[in-house]
Amino acid sequence: MSNFRLIPLALAGAALLWVSTASADTITINGGESPTFPPTFTTLASGSSPLVLPFTLCCGASDSFDVEATAIGTSPLDSGQFDSNALAINFAGPGTLILWFTETGVTSPTGTVNVTSGLTSNMIEGAISSVKLSTFLDPTDGVSPPNGMPLDSATFTAIGTQTSTTSIATGLGPYSLEEVYTIVATGAGTANLTIDLATSPVPEPASLAFAGAAFAGLILLRQRRKAN
pLDDT in tens, 41-95: 999 999 999 999 999 999 876 788 999 999 999 999 999 999 999 999 998 888 8
pLDDT in tens, 158-182: 999 999 999 999 999 999 999 999 9
pLDDT-derived band at 34, boundaries 50, 70, 90: confident
Residue ranges with strand state E in 22-159:
26-33, 42-48, 51-58, 65-72, 81-90, 95-106, 112-138, 149-156
DSSP β-ladder status, 51-58 and 42-48: unpaired
What mean pLDDT do residues 109-117 have?
A: 97
Look at the pTM and tell me if it is higher than 0.85: no
What mean pLDDT do residues 134-148 have?
A: 93
Q: Is the distance from CB of 68 to CB of 53 less than 8 angstroms?
A: yes
Cα–Cα distance list, 213 to 76, 204, 207, 216, 217 (Å): 37, 14, 10, 5, 6
String of DSSP letters for 73-106: -TTTSPTTEEEEEEEEEE-SSSEEEEEEEEEEEE
Locate the domains of the chain by residue range. Answer: 25-221
- Integer Cα distance of 81 and 166 in angstroms: 14
Q: Phi first, then psi: give them for residue 209, nearest 5 degrees.
A: -65, -40
**Is the pLDDT reported for residue 32 higher than 50?**
yes
